[in-house]
Chain A
Amino acid sequence: MTNLMDKPVSMLDVPVPAGPAWLEAYRSRARSRFPGFPTLRDEAWRYTNITPILETPFQPAISAARDVSADDVQHVRVPELDSSLLVFVNGRYRADLSDADELGKGVVSLPLHEAVRSHAELLEEHLGTASGEHEDPFTTLNDAMVSDGLFVHVSDGARPDRPIEVLSIATRTAEPVASHPRNLVVVGKEARATVLEHYVTLDDDAVYLNNAVTELIAAPSATVEHYLLERESERAFNISTLAIRQAAESVVHSHTVLLGGRIVRNNVTPVLAGERAHCLINGLYVGHREQHLDNAMRVRHAAPQCESRQYYKGIMNDRSRGVFTGRIVVDKIAQKTDAIQSNRNMLLSDDARVNARPQLEIYADDVRCTHGATTGRVDDEAVFYFMSRGLSEPVARAMLVYAFAAEGFDRMELVPVRRLLAAEMIDKLPMARGLSIEV
């Protein structure tokens, strides 16, 4: 790794609002263990060159060149989703644009900076407990900068009456802004919650960095559904880490859809720490032009009889590049593990590329682990079949590409999210213009 000289230091030197002593100590520990930024020589970053991020002169969140209105928010949030909404603009919480009403008994949902004051004990107890599992330089950087984001606490047996949507809106700014959103979601025994992290931009040419860390802690028999909808500017950078810790018999579904961004890194790192926990990791990355979309999964089975399912699909066009690294770690204690990993990619141009790496690390002897990775093109025989029924070649291809992705949408509970993603995807496929799809 590169050392802390030069530009990387500037990102650490950005002032963050002072916090209570325990938080200052937390940040300071992170600063001291920050290992420097990864290079292509680091195995975990072998296919992703972050030099363009390091060469960008980032500033802390500063005032935006234009204001964001309530209309803008309505325009970019998930349509027809009745969500409790927390809005951040260029990294700053905007109470005036948020709509975070009471979510019912036993449910706390707040911007993290408020929770630092009002729920200090809970925060101190849980912060870093899931993300500490797997050290990553960007996570450490986030640790060093923790100041705002979402805090959710659902008491045992409780359930919010609506999904919680954290909407991060980016706009064009005078200087590129680096934000380090930090979300902590703690779901109690037999409780339920649905959380969406939603990154959008109002300016397609905005340059910025979102380095987000979400910790999701599921108590025994909790059920959590998490969405990451990444619709950043194609000149922006997004590093998102979802660190999950699951107790016995908990069920967590993670859905990730990467659509925007210039360089995107999506880390999902569940630890199945209690018996019979179940984890679904569902993802889709759709790249075009020069986009670089990197997905790093690390599923650790740390208890017996757990199930994990990874289904990731990539659709890459133009000169875009996709990366999928799927690691399954099965501890010695984790007998009767049942793990499936599948990564399928579709290339729409000769210059698009995908690097797929399944990695198994198995220390138990009674396990079932399967993995498969494929990369292909739209099936010509299927195109001919559709055309022989009267569909034009562009429509035939669009329907087939859409169909490839649709399987992932079908796993999502929230229909408005499916609809939004279907529309966004069709928008992004040049051959699909005018295609109408029922979701």
Chain B
Amino acid sequence: MTTPLLQIRNLHVRLEDDPSVEIIKGIDLTIMPGEVHSIMGPNGSGKSTLAQVLAGKEDYEITEGEILFNGQDLTELGPDERANSGIFLAFQYPVEIPGVSAMQFLKAAVNAKRAFEGQNELDAGALLKHFRAKAEQINVPFEMLKRNVNEGFSGGEKKRFEIFQMAVLDSVLGILDESDSGLDIDALRIVADGVNSMRDGRRSFLVITHYQRLLNYIVPDHVHVLVNGRIVKSGGKELALELEEKGYRPFGVNESAVAGAGA
């Protein structure tokens, strides 16, 4: 039997600073190698929190349940160990870092992963070759690597650079946190093409989005509807179309009432 890549069982999460706020109220989710899952939900449903919890952000406390990655418990690992194990979070708002070039950043990241795996550092030549190949695959101008991390990047450039980083790090689970937000259709298509170029039957993706639009380009195997910290419905890709048509109202959500509550 194949081991699931990611297995979430009865996950409960609350805010560390305010334990009275429970955001995730019992989620079960199993992602097999090669699968693309999408989590769709209205604002405030907990979908971005789930992404951050998977990546290891410290602002949250897991009160119940477990997260297994390749059969191993993740919850005690720091964000860096999770990344080096193969988890990649594509940020909704990638952080601008003046003073650190994208090249320097990626060299450090690649070599951190290699050190984690007990491999020697790659030399500058091998790294450059690797970066060039991935830049071509993801359709990222190589010049982008000479700029500071995300500094002055357009919305589309930032999202493309995220996908490029995942390719460079050769992560096996990509968590895309609203990668479609703020993108026009052309930028969206480039991001989706980058993701699709990495689908190889081994890598999996968890695509988090509010809208169905992105799923026209990254076609999921499974769609889950997240409302108020719980998965209320799961289905195939047709579920996304159903949501597009009817909105989240059938799930008891009055969008305007929760809009702006934050994710």
A interface residues (Cβ-Cβ under 8 A, vs B): 379, 381-382, 384-393, 395-396, 399-400, 402-407, 437-438
Contact of A391 among B58, B98, B108 (CB under 8 A): B108
Which residues of chain B come closer than 8 Å to A404, judged between CB atoms?
Answer: 99
**A385 in contact with B95 given A393-B78, A437-B104, A438-B104 (CB within 8 Å):** yes
Interface string of B154-195 (1 = CB under 8 A from A): 000000000001000100000000000000000000000000
Query: In the complex the two chains form, is B80's CB within 8 Å of A390's CB?
Result: yes
**A388 in contact with B105 given A395-B112, A403-B100, A407-B98 (CB within 8 Å):** no
B251 interface hit (Cβ, 8 Å): no
Which residues of chain B come closer than 8 Å to A384, judged between CB atoms?
Answer: 55, 57-58, 79
Q: Which residue of B lies closest to A405 (CB)?
A: B99
Q: Which residue of A lies closest to B175 (CB)?
A: A388
**A381 in contact with B84 given A387-B78, A395-B108, A403-B100 (CB within 8 Å):** no
* A379, A385, A389, A396, most chain B CB atoms within 10 A: A389
Distance to closest chain B CB from A344 (angstroms): 11
* A392, A396, A400, most chain B CB atoms within 10 A: A392
B34 interface hit (Cβ, 8 Å): no
Complex: A162 Cα to B83 Cα, angstroms: 49
Query: In the complex the two chains form, is A389's CB within 8 Å of B105's CB?
Result: yes
Q: Pull 14 A–B residue pairs with CB atoms less than 8 Å apart, ordered by A.
A: A387-B79, A388-B79, A388-B80, A388-B91, A390-B84, A390-B169, A391-B80, A391-B109, A392-B80, A403-B100, A405-B99, A406-B99, A407-B98, A407-B99
Which residues of chain B come closer than 8 Å to A403, judged between CB atoms?
Answer: 97-100
Query: In the complex the two chains form, is B83's CB within 8 Å of A389's CB?
Result: yes
Query: In the complex the two chains form, is B56's CB within 8 Å of A388's CB?
Result: yes
Chain A interface helix/strand/loop/mixed: helix
B89 interface hit (Cβ, 8 Å): yes
Distance to closest chain A CB from B155 (angstroms): 16
* B80, B91, B105, most chain A CB atoms within 10 A: B80
Q: Which residues of B (81-132) have their CB < 8 Å from a CB of A?
A: 82-84, 88-89, 91, 94-95, 97-100, 104-105, 108-109, 112-113, 116
Query: In the complex the two chains form, is B113's CB within 8 Å of A390's CB?
Result: yes
Q: Which residue of B lies closest to A409 (CB)?
A: B99
Q: Which residues of B (40-69) have their CB < 8 Å from a CB of A?
A: 55-58
Q: Which residue of A lies closest to B103 (CB)?
A: A438
Distance to closest chain B CB from A305 (angstroms): 30
Distance to closest chain A CB from B108 (angstroms): 6
Which residues of chain A come closer than 8 Å to B79, judged between CB atoms?
Answer: 384, 387-388
Contact of B100 among A381, A392, A393, A399 (CB under 8 A): A399
Which residues of chain A come closer than 8 Å to B56, judged between CB atoms?
Answer: 387-388
Complex: A79 Cα to B98 Cα, angstroms: 27
Contact of B80 among A381, A387, A400, A402 (CB under 8 A): A387
Q: Which residue of A lies closest to B148 (CB)?
A: A403
Query: In the complex the two chains form, is A402's CB within 8 Å of B112's CB?
Result: no
Distance to closest chain B CB from A385 (angstroms): 4
Complex: A339 Cα to B226 Cα, angstroms: 54
Contact of A390 among B57, B104, B112 (CB under 8 A): B112
Complex: A381 Cα to B113 Cα, angstroms: 21
Which residues of chain B come closer than 8 Å to A388, judged between CB atoms?
Answer: 55-56, 79-80, 82-83, 88-89, 91
Which residues of chain A come closer than 8 Å to B99, judged between CB atoms?
Answer: 402-407
Query: In the complex the two chains form, is B95's CB within 8 Å of A399's CB?
Result: no
Contact of B108 among A379, A385, A399 (CB under 8 A): A399
Distance to closest chain A CB from B219 (angstroms): 26
Query: In the complex the two chains form, is A389's CB within 8 Å of B169's CB?
Result: yes
Query: In the complex the two chains form, is B95's CB within 8 Å of A379's CB?
Result: yes
Complex: A390 Cα to B89 Cα, angstroms: 11
Q: Which residue of A lies closest to B150 (CB)?
A: A385
Which residues of chain B come closer than 8 Å to A396, judged between CB atoms?
Answer: 80
Distance to closest chain B CB from A388 (angstroms): 5
Query: In the complex the two chains form, is B165's CB within 8 Å of A389's CB?
Result: yes
Which residues of chain B come closer than 8 Å to A402, judged between CB atoms?
Answer: 99-100
Complex: A359 Cα to B56 Cα, angstroms: 45
Complex: A391 Cα to B95 Cα, angstroms: 15
* B83, B88, B95, most chain A CB atoms within 10 A: B95
Closest 4 CB pairs of A and B: A403-B99, A387-B79, A390-B83, A406-B99
Distance to closest chain A CB from B156 (angstroms): 19
Which residues of chain A come closer than 8 Å to B97, judged between CB atoms?
Answer: 382, 385-386, 400, 403
Which residues of chain A come closer than 8 Å to B78, judged between CB atoms?
Answer: 387, 393
Query: In the complex the two chains form, is B112's CB within 8 Å of A385's CB?
Result: no
Distance to closest chain B CB from A361 (angstroms): 31
Complex: A402 Cα to B104 Cα, angstroms: 12
Which residues of chain B come closer than 8 Å to A389, judged between CB atoms?
Answer: 83, 105, 109, 112, 165, 169
Distance to closest chain A CB from B112 (angstroms): 4
Complex: A428 Cα to B55 Cα, angstroms: 31
Which residues of chain A come closer than 8 Å to B55, judged between CB atoms?
Answer: 384, 388
* B91, B97, B99, most chain A CB atoms within 10 A: B99
Which residues of chain A come closer than 8 Å to B108, judged between CB atoms?
Answer: 391, 395, 399
